Amino acid sequence: MLDFINFTFLDALDILLVAILLYYTYKLLKGTVAINIFLGIAFIFLIWKITQALKMEMLSGILGYLLSGGVIALIIVFQQEIRKFLLMIGTTNFSTKRNFLKQLKFLQSEIVTEIDSETLIGACKNLAETKTGALIVIERTNNLDFLINTGDTMNALMNEAILESIFYKNSPLHDGATIIRDNFIVATRVVLPISDSKIPARFGLRHKAGMGITEKTDALCLLVSEETGEISYLKNGNFELYTDYAELIEKIKKDME
């Protein structure tokens, strides 16, 4: 009771920083199999703290050794997620008020990154009908300036006509990826990192590139195959083929929340 009365500013700061760390951890793991592992570890940690408080020395000792000895294993299991977390920190840009608030948007309910998914899917549908290849990256919380520098910068409000003209086969901008940020096309001809993951032989370099950027950041990716006209949606290094455009529109809206 006395400790609670002596609650200080540093205690409050400690709680706030832990809450921020847990929030970003959840954002990185959300929608992946790793979230189940994380929840299991959190449960074991909670039980360990309870056994310590109850002075159950044998059980708390076993759980303590289990948690401390599993650090290396956890690094291996969460390799991709740790890489994403470090990349997120390294590419965070606090130089403007907008970017600062974007990084803290979970504390600012009015700061919401939205995307016109209807326009995006409308353009992808038209490109698919003509079997025109396309690779579109949608920025979320991880800043993608390090990729934008590899291509041609642009600042155009997104619409179907512009997206279709970019990926038109005779357009000088159709090679590489296009990056979308807050409904603006911010870069074209962007070079993406290639994934080392194995994929079926019928999928090509575009899928490898889409998987690469979604493995290393929390970006989303839309891909149109020029061989089949299929539309793929990529997130966390995984991709799904979609033929139901209304379902894909809702999927993007949900993932952008």
> Which domains can be identified in the chain, with CATH numbers?
2-103 (no CATH), 117-255 (3.40.1700.10)
CA angle 140, 206, 234 (to 5 degrees): 40
Residue 190 CB: number of other CB atoms within 10 A? 23
CB 230 within 8 A of CB 218: no
pLDDT in tens, 153-162: 998 999 999 9
End-to-end CA distance of the chain: 40
| Predicted pLDDT of residue 106 | 42
| Positions of the chain with pLDDT under 70 | 1-5, 27-36, 69-113
| Predicted pLDDT of residue 87 | 61
| Predicted pLDDT of residue 10 | 82
Question: What pTM does this model have?
Answer: 0.62
Amino acid at the residue 100: F
Structural tokens at position 30: 């959300």
Strand partners, 20: none
| Predicted pLDDT of residue 98 | 47
SS3 224: strand
Sheet holding 238-242, edge to edge: 152-157, 184-190, 177-181, 134-138, 220-224, 231-235, 238-242
Pairing of strands 238-242, 184-190: unpaired
pLDDT in tens, 63-103: 877 777 666 666 666 666 666 666 655 555 444 444 444 44
